[in-house]
Structure 1
Amino acid sequence: HDAERPGDEERAVGTTVPLAALLSGTAGPGRDEEGALALDLLVVLDAPQLDVETGAMLVEALPDGCRLVLGGDPEVLGSAGPGAVFADALAARVCPRVASRRPDPGPLGELVSGIGVGELNQVEAPGKEVVIVPVRDAGEAVHRTVQLVADSVPRAFGLSPEQTRVITVGHGGSAGTRALNTALKQRLNPGPGRFGGYDPGDRVAYAPAPGRTVTGTVLGADPEGLRLSTGEGEVVVPKERVESALRHGWALTAHQAAGGRWPAVVVVLPGDAAPGLSRPWVYTAFGRAERHLSVVHGVDQALPRSVAEVLAPTRTTRLRPLLIGLLATPDEE
């Protein structure tokens, strides 16, 4: 969110723009004569996804006197890039903190809240808000996932496949994003992949910069590259970057999905996913669902054990002591 500086006879108007577009100048109020963003107040949502480089660019772009509000859930997975800006700012206690402990309503909110404190509870879900789908192996996991996205969820909830996201632990493996996306494309949007392996209508995940993912749909191609429709508007991926920066996006990793929410989510946990599970991973993946969550479950007791016992590795950064040092008085140094 950002609020433009009001003129003498104009009140501030709040707008919502992607942070990357704000920093690049393609959206938002633009820069003043000193190169700072013309803002009085900036509210950054999903702030745990800020890596240290983006955080530094953001702070350097703010004018003197601007107020910065970082908002987000401290329990979700942190940024895919280096640093832990949100966690370090919280731990350093360098600014006022306002905590909201009101969970999302209903069975999904109850389930995710329990995971946040290390408990994987069975919840009453009379409206099939949460469904567990046991599988024996990765092949069955892929088959059941495609069935859920293409048939079961649309039939039970009236949600299209475009309103459903699949989340799994990694890109590789027999039920990673590559295998799942291959199967989902074959069912939902079959085609020859005439544009560098992609066809119009394909769901994709685009990484315009390391650690940042934008989801969208392929519109077509032209001499400049592959054209996508995304939440940030139309984007052109240069031909030379298609192979390295683009993946099919019906299925995502939890890090890729961390900044989004969808009406329905299918979390895929084949047997070989167990080593990649942790409480923040499960909390993040399960918490992406707004109305319905299906868990394709093949990890047996590794799921409750990871929720109860496995925390994310602590990142070693210099930001926390630097922030604390900024507030230290001469007597404390």
Structure 2
Amino acid sequence: LGGAAVTVAGLLSGAEGPGRDSDGLFALDLLVVLDAPQLDVETAAMLVESLPDGGRLVLSGDPGVLWSAGAGRVFADLLAARVCPQIASRTPDPGPVGELVSGIGVGELNQVPAPGKEVVIVPVRDAGEAVHRTVQLVAESVPRAFGVTAEQTQVITVGHGGAAGTRALNAALKQRLQPGPGRFGGFDPGDRIAYVPAPGRTLQGSVVSADADGLHLDCAGVPVVVPKERVESAVRHGWALTAHQAAGMRWPAAVVVLPGDAAQGLSRPWVYTAFSRGDRHLSVVHGADQALAHAVAQIPSQDRTTRLRPLLEGLLAPAPTAAG
């Protein structure tokens, strides 16, 4: 790869990376995949099938984060089956946020000293107050206290629907930060967006313009055109994301919103993922009462049935001996 970093989707499609050899296999000897817990079964299978004979695959990731949005839990099953060499090398993030997240990873929701207000809990009574306080934090409090702009702050909530889901939060944040008539299918130039080119993959960017070809986006400096017929299903406003969408990305500051109806969506991996998205600051807009502590202590994973682990463990099972 010549030291270049590429996306898994780009590598598989041939749009990025070294390409494929005459046999249709990756023209490389070593493939290192970061954020490997986000690999679903289908994507992982395509990667393995595309490796040349003798090629090496290194999967790296934090086992505490949410599993892939797609089917399976490949990384967790590989760890549990112990069919591959494993190296534990995670260094906890420094500071109060890192200390808080490290405790969550082992099922403890601790109060951590935060003399510089690196971690702030904002109690709220209902979803309406949660939305109001979230907008206030993003637009005023966090920029004033930390010099972190609204564009450097990510809001994370449990789901898209509900009175404090991504739709409601994004509508309120757009009204405050980027008001406009939404001429382009609800979007205006400069709007912060989340583009989902494929299930389980989210790109952040901003709206540039729109014309007969579709909605023109800037995703980390890469121009993207989304056809008009795909805009409604593939593009959302991106000031607020779900934890699944935010996994694998980091921002200087994160505001995690936990309204009263969030309880059913909470688990230890969800909290661990959401709370670890902010490098310098974490605000928790908290209206979930005891559901947060219960999720961290009592819900270590979300139910997901797979056949990969027993299949992998079968590879290590001793071969049956023939009866004499």
Using the size of structure 2 for normalisation, the TM-score is: 0.96
- Decide which of 278, 281, 284 is 1:289's aligned counterpart: 278
Shift of 1:229: 1.4
Matched to 2:296, the amino acid is V
Matched to 1:138, the amino acid is A
Residues 1:124 and 2:143 aligned together = no
1:221 is aligned to: 210
CA distance in 2, matches of 1:223, 1:328: 59
1:57 is aligned to: 46
1:197 is aligned to: 186
- Relative to structure 1, the CA distance from residue 232 to residue 81 in structure 2 (aligned partners, 3 Å threshold; closer, same or farther) is farther
CA distance in 2, matches of 1:140, 1:243: 28
Residue range with higher mean Cα deviation, 305-314 or 73-82: 305-314
In the TM superposition, 1:1-333 aligns within 5 A as 3=1, 13-231=2-220, 233-331=222-320
Matched to 1:267, the amino acid is V
CA distance in 2, matches of 1:38, 1:185: 45
Shift of 1:42: 0.9
CA contact (8 A) 1:262 1:290 kept: yes
Residue range with higher mean Cα deviation, 57-66 or 142-151: 57-66
- SS of the residue 1:145 aligns to: helix
Using the size of structure 1 for normalisation, the TM-score is: 0.93
- SS of the residue 1:57 aligns to: helix
- SS of the residue 2:249 aligns to: coil
Matched to 2:95, the amino acid is G
CA contact (8 A) 1:18 1:232 kept: no
Shift of 1:246: 1.4
CA distance in 2, matches of 1:314, 1:232: 38
Q: What value does the CA root-mean-square deviation take over the aligned residues?
A: 1.5
Shift of 1:210: 1.5
Matched to 1:110, the amino acid is E
Shift of 1:27: 1.2
Shift of 1:332: 7.7
Deviations 1:201-239 (A, max 9, x none): 111111111222122111112322112111372222111
CA distance in 2, matches of 1:153, 1:332: 67
- SS of the residue 1:154 aligns to: helix
Matched to 2:243, the amino acid is A
- Relative to structure 1, the CA distance from residue 232 to residue 281 in structure 2 (aligned partners, 3 Å threshold; closer, same or farther) is farther
Deviations 1:98-117 (A, max 9, x none): 01242111111100000011
- Relative to structure 1, the CA distance from residue 302 to residue 15 in structure 2 (aligned partners, 3 Å threshold; closer, same or farther) is same
Shift of 1:331: 3.2
CA distance in 2, matches of 1:332, 1:72: 39
Deviations 1:234-286 (A, max 9, x none): 22211111111111110001111111111100001111112211111111100
Identity of aligned residues (%): 77
1:10 is aligned to: none
- Relative to structure 1, the CA distance from residue 332 to residue 41 in structure 2 (aligned partners, 3 Å threshold; closer, same or farther) is farther
Matched to 1:169, the amino acid is V
Unaligned runs of at least 5 residues, structure 1 = 4-12
CA distance in 1, matches of 2:321, 2:157: 47
Unaligned runs of at least 5 residues, structure 2 = none
Residue range with higher mean Cα deviation, 105-114 or 25-34: 25-34
Deviations 1:21-60 (A, max 9, x none): 1111111111111111111111101100000111111111
CA distance in 2, matches of 1:54, 1:248: 26
CA distance in 1, matches of 2:282, 2:102: 14
Count of paired positions: 322
Shift of 1:302: 1.6
CA distance in 2, matches of 1:146, 1:162: 13
